[in-house]
């Protein structure tokens, strides 16, 4: 995205023309940026050719998953619905891993029937259930066990998953017990140790600590893991001031680890692949001033994009037309929903704005549309895929009649 003659454009199309043709609010994705992200990710870790399983939860649009599939990626899914959409996008079932703490019998059975690569189990009860279903079907199922390494990912508390107080994975003691359980089972084949310590990680050290913990546990198991699934979590720079996760350093650390442990690495990135590809275009409905604040009331709301309301996340917010010498004001950008948390961002120096202007919220490709809802009976926005000067509607705007 850049300003061309002061008009904000995504690839070769101005935000103004998108809004005129498709209305607001609308999600738009840059295909070119998506391709760049995948190529960059693959290149950064090519020395050990990991299996890259896109975390479908970050964006469930089938057209986008089809594009991702073209680069040979697999999928990380956490529900039957996500497994269905990954298969619908044409992802090879032997490149699909199934994570999550509460897979139901129906979901496990469905996954087994689709012959996916791995079911990554997260508790003793779940492993027993997989065993029971596998036995019933007379099959031997490839599984992983998710370890909770008790590692602080140094990210937002709400999106930390690898500390001992989190519900995810099992601790070392249970992990070792479960390895033994699998060894004696005729219907389970323990292929993988998996971890995922959190999301939006920008510091390399938690990953390094995590690798240390994994190594120590593998030593104790005396088991050869064909796969080590390191999860996702690689952060992106929402703010230019954010530090960057150093892929080169992470790659080196993994290479070092693999010298001793010789497994195939699986990654489950979501945000790193899709996060910076998407924007949300919205229009100013009203400007409302009181003694304390200037509220810019947008036609997008927390139901369309939840991250600020849910995590206090802050996203770069830009005017669709830049006017260089315009005076700057302090604004609070909010949505029309009846909740005080329906607020996107407060900015101290934003160019003076007026009703009907367009505003773009950036970096919403991950956990944007996938976290949206119909709260307040609001139909969901459309999704548009931009490629050069072409726009393809990859999800239609919902209509009120879809909700009634």
Does 141 participate in binding ligand LLP (rule CB under 6 A)?
A: no
Which position among 28, 53, 182, 338 bears the catalytic label? 338
Which of 64, 105, 59, 102 has its CA nearest to residue 82? 59
Residues 309-338 close enough to bind ligand LLP by CB under 6 A = 311
List, in order, residues 6 or more apart from 106 with CB less than 8 Å away. Answer: 80
Which of 298, 287, 289 has its CA nearest to residue 345? 298
Least distance in angstroms from the C-beta of 230 to ligand LLP: 9
Does 95 participate in binding ligand LLP (rule CB under 6 A)?
A: no
Does 162 participate in binding ligand LLP (rule CB under 6 A)?
A: no
The yes-or-no answer on residue 338 being catalytic is yes
Place of tokens 């010498």: 325
d(CA 165, CA 220): 23
Taking CB under 6 A as the binding criterion, the range among 11-19, 263-271, 318-326, 384-392 that sits at the site for ligand LLP is: 263-271
The secondary structure of residue 321, as a DSSP letter, is: B
Quick one: which of 50, 144, 270, 365 contacts ligand LLP (CB under 6 A)?
Answer: 270
Least distance in angstroms from the C-beta of 91 to ligand LLP: 15
Q: Where are the alpha helices (DSSP H) in 13-123?
A: 15-22, 31-44, 62-69, 80-88, 105-113
Q: Count other Cβ atoms within 10 Å, centred on residue 106.
A: 10
Cβ(201)–Cβ(243) below 8 Å = no
For ligand LLP, the closer of residues 153 and 391 by Cβ is 153
For ligand LLP, the closer of residues 13 and 364 by Cβ is 364
Quick one: which of 169, 206, 232, 335 contacts ligand LLP (CB under 6 A)?
Answer: 232
Least distance in angstroms from the C-beta of 266 to ligand LLP: 10
Taking CB under 6 A as the binding criterion, the range among 9-17, 37-45, 213-221, 229-237 that sits at the site for ligand LLP is: 229-237
Does 206 participate in binding ligand LLP (rule CB under 6 A)?
A: no
d(CA 360, CA 57): 23
Quick one: which of 199, 263, 303, 317 contacts ligand LLP (CB under 6 A)?
Answer: 199
For ligand LLP, the closer of residues 159 and 298 by Cβ is 159
Residues 27-86 close enough to bind ligand LLP by CB under 6 A = 55, 58, 76
Which of 367, 156, 386 has its CA nearest to residue 275? 367
Quick one: which of 178, 367, 380, 386 contacts ligand LLP (CB under 6 A)?
Answer: 367
- In sign, the C-alpha dihedral spanning 307, 42, 62, 93 is negative
Quick one: which of 103, 191, 196, 343 contacts ligand LLP (CB under 6 A)?
Answer: 196
List, in order, residues 6 or more apart from 161 with CB less than 8 Å away. Answer: 153, 168, 169, 196, 197, 198, 199
For 379-400, b/e burial (b = at least 16 CB within 10 A) is: bbbbbbbbbeeebeebbebeee
Does 307 participate in binding ligand LLP (rule CB under 6 A)?
A: yes
Residues belonging to the active site: 338
* Residue ranges binding ligand LLP (CB under 6 A): 55, 58, 76, 99, 159, 161, 196, 199-200, 231-234, 268-272, 307, 311, 366-367, 371
């Amino acid at each position: 995205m850049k300003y061309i003659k002061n008009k904000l454009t995504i690839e070769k199309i101005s935000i103004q023309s998108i809004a005129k043709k498709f209305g607001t609010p609308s999600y738009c994705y840059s295909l070119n940026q998506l391709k760049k992200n995948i190529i960059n990710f693959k290149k950064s870790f090519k020395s050990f050719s990991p299996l890259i399983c896109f975390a479908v939860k970050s964006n469930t649009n089938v057209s986008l998953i089809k594009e991702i599939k073209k680069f040979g990626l697999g999928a990380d899914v956490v529900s039957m619905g996500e497994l269905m959409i990954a298969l619908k996008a044409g992802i090879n079932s032997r490149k699909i891993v199934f994570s999550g703490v509460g897979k139901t019998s129906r979901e496990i059975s469905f996954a087994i029937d689709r012959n996916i690569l791995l079911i990554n189990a997260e508790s003793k009860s779940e492993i027993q259930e997989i065993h029971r279903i596998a036995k019933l079907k007379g099959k031997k199922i490839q599984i992983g066990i998710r370890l909770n390494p008790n590692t602080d990912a140094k990210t937002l508390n709400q999106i930390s998953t690898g500390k001992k107080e989190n519900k995810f994975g099992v601790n070392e003691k249970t992990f070792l017990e479960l390895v033994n359980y699998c060894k004696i089972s005729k219907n389970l084949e323990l292929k993988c140790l998996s971890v995922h310590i959190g999301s939006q990680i920008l510091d390399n050290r938690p990953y390094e600590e995590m690798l240390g913990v994994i190594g120590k546990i593998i030593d104790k198991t005396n088991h050869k893991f064909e796969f080590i699934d390191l999860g996702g979590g690689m952060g992106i720079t929402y703010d230019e001031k954010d530090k960057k996760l150093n892929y080169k350093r992470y790659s080196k650390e993994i290479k070092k680890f693999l010298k001793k442990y010789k497994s195939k690495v699986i990654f489950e990135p979501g945000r790193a692949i899709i996060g910076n590809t998407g924007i949300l275009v919205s229009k100013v409905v009203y400007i409302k001033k009181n003694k304390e604040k200037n509220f810019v009331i947008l036609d997008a709301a927390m139901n369309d994009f939840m991250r600020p309301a849910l995590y206090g996340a802050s996203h770069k917010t830009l005017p669709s037309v830049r006017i260089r010498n315009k005076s700057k004001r302090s604004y609070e950008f909010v949505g029309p929903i009846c909740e005080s948390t329906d607020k996107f961002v407060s900015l101290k120096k934003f160019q003076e704005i007026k009703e009907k202007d367009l505003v773009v919220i950036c970096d919403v490709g991950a956990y944007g549309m996938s976290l949206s809802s119909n709260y307040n009976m609001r139909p969901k926005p459309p999704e548009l895929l931009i490629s050069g000067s072409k726009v393809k509607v990859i999800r239609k705007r919902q209509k009120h009649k879809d909700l009634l």
